[in-house]
Amino acid sequence: MKLAGRIAIITGGGSGIGHEAAKLFAAEGAVVIVADRDGAAAERVAAEIKSSSGKASAHTIDVSKEAEIKAMIDRVVADHGRLDILVNNAGFGFAGTVVTTSEADWDALMAVNVKGVFFGCKYAIPVMEKQGGGVIVNTASAVANVGITDRAAYVASKGAVAALTRAMAIDHVAAKIRINCVAPGTIESPYFAKILSGPDGAELRRGLEQRQAMERLGQPVEIARAMLFLASDESSFCTGTTLVADGGWTAR
Ligand code: ADP
């Protein structure tokens, strides 16, 4: 098992990519703290893991709230004595150009997608430093590397996640903390599944599929596997990197 006995927090673990990562990490022997704003979803995922003999607990948290992040990490250290892996995966997006995006919407998105990563790392890194090392995996996006239309705030937030990942990786390399991010293409998560089941769904799906060289959407588990690589010792020489898993979208 690749993560035997490791203590891992996965934010946004209640749905989509985070849900698959929580299951996969537990199957590889990790003790998983499923952290999500949707507490019921986090409980469901933790119960699902426990029903297949994995180790998991649920934690309700809004990653944009500094006090909540600090309390969660304190609690994990109190319960388990350490924190080996933090996956900063909670996030969301909405449509809009800079002209149509309100300041309130911009701030709300940055508070989760960027500040949530900042807070997670701010409180996890000192713990990892003290215990002699650790691993952080952040969820960026293929749009950290290429622009897309009508998603200005989301694109900016994911560019910031990739840049922050590089900055933190070099700041904390001497403390033996590896910090990397994944850059998923368009993934068939519950969020997209809902949009794609709407009235213009079929046409929208074709457009999104054709954007990626493989001409299909990715599955959440395909990103979870990339996260597992970055969270495990198999990526021992990787830090500050962006692992692209986008069906060839940005290659084209
Ligand atoms: P994807 O897996 O593609 O990122 P989802 O929308 O399926 O998309 O999953 C994102 C998860 O992140 C959801 O479970 C959602 O509740 C969670 N989430 C969103 N915002 C926050 C937040 N501020 N704090 C904690 N979890 C959040």
Fold of 7-243: Rossmann fold (3.40.50)
One DSSP character per residue, the chain reads: -TTTT-EEEEETTTSHHHHHHHHHHHHTT-EEEEEESSHHHHHHHHHHHHHTT-EEEEEE--TT-HHHHHHHHHHHHHHHS---EEEE-------B-TTT--HHHHHHHHHHHTHHHHHHHHHHHHHHHHHT-EEEEEE--GGGTS--TTBHHHHHHHHHHHHHHHHHHHHTTTTTEEEEEEEE-SB--HHHHHHHTSTTHHHHHHHHHHHSTTSSPBPHHHHHHHHHHHHSGGGTT--S-EEEESTTTTT-
Please report the sign of the dihedral spanned by the C-alpha atoms of residue 232, residue 234, residue 235, residue 237: positive
Q: Which residue, by CA, sits nearest to atom 22 of ligand 1?
A: 62
Using one digit for the tens of pLDDT, what is the confidence trace for 158-193?
Answer: 999 999 999 999 999 999 999 999 999 999 988 888
Q: Is 92 in the pocket of ligand 1 (CB under 6 A)?
A: yes
Using one digit for the tens of pLDDT, what is the confidence trace for 5-58?
Answer: 999 999 999 999 999 999 999 999 999 999 999 999 999 999 999 999 999 999
217: burial class by Cβ within 10 Å (0-12, 13-18, 19+)?
A: buried
Using one digit for the tens of pLDDT, what is the confidence trace for 222-242?
Answer: 999 999 999 999 999 999 999
Q: Is 11 in the pocket of ligand 1 (CB under 6 A)?
A: yes
Q: Is 64 in the pocket of ligand 1 (CB under 6 A)?
A: yes
Q: pTM of this prediction?
A: 0.98
Instruction: Name the least confident of 76-85, 124-133, 196-205.
Output: 196-205
pLDDT of residue 198: 86
pLDDT of residue 191: 80
Atom of ligand 1 nearest to the CA of 112: 23
Domain ranges of the chain: 7-243
The percentage of the chain sitting over the pLDDT mark of 70, rounded to a whole number, equals 100
Give ipTM to 2 decimals: 0.98
- 191 is an active site residue: no
User: 92 C-alpha vs ligand 1 centroid, how far in Å?
Assistant: 6
Q: For residues 117 and 106, what is the distance between their CA atoms, to the nearest angstrom?
A: 16
Q: Is 62 in the pocket of ligand 1 (CB under 6 A)?
A: yes
Q: Which residue, by CA, sits nearest to atom 3 of ligand 1?
A: 189
